[in-house]
Structure 1
């Protein structure tokens, strides 16, 4: 059964913003299918999508009063989900970038090194999030999560060859994107 869900109407959102708990609960419940769909299209894995959707719904519940226009609920929720998916990618990337601690070298990285590492992770996260969804999923599952190729292919319903092709396209696109942003940074050029 393919049932279409609609966003809550503006009167319901307004009542929720005014503190009506029943309206707030209804707004969260009616927003849930849309939020999950956003998360599945933006996040790298179903688990990340579930986490992002749950976090977005919690933010909706707690902060609906900060929504400026009742008609902007969909775009607000989309931004929240996108930010949660990006946060998950940044966490994965930063964990991957951190070298294992050496017991005999207890020195901490300098503030400059920490800033540069953070900027690098930010650049990578932005480039990864700009990939098409199918490429982003394969790249994150294979290269960030470290899953075996066959596992990734099975999880996404692809042949091994199709998974490898998508992964190659994703890596190539990511490499070009990072090279372009690095070149722009060296020349002082501002890229959108």
Structure 2
């Protein structure tokens, strides 16, 4: 969590505070971009563009909104613009998965298939459903934060999430029956 004093110092022109602020959020910004765009280079480009926009627009941030939500709105909008131009897919990186029992090879193999099935299902979602799923379940934003980030009414966010979960359930139906789709 970014300290409000750091934000205020950055807004008042303290260059060191601004650099510290950007360093604190850069990994979070990149992760959001990566999960939405599913391409390392595109994610790096989007993250860089978002950080530059945050740098140039820091004075437009008002404390009535959470800083995290303001940042997510910027990076998400940039990613949506890139997404509309390229139609990429979300990737769930198997290398980030932590297996509690390294001896259980079958578990690892099945987990890889599960991750791949989920990844493929998310990739098939419409853009707006994919975005709310990424923000809710991969970035752990609340419904209100997602609504603020995407500039949508709260009920629309709830509706998008409901429909996205229904679509994911339908897409993963074969897996739920015990089979693997990939």
Q: TM-score, normalised by structure 2?
A: 0.49
Comparing both chains, which one has the higher relative contact order based on Cα–Cα distances under 8 Å and sequence gaps of 6 or more?
2
Computing the radius of gyration from Cα coordinates, the structure with the larger value is 1
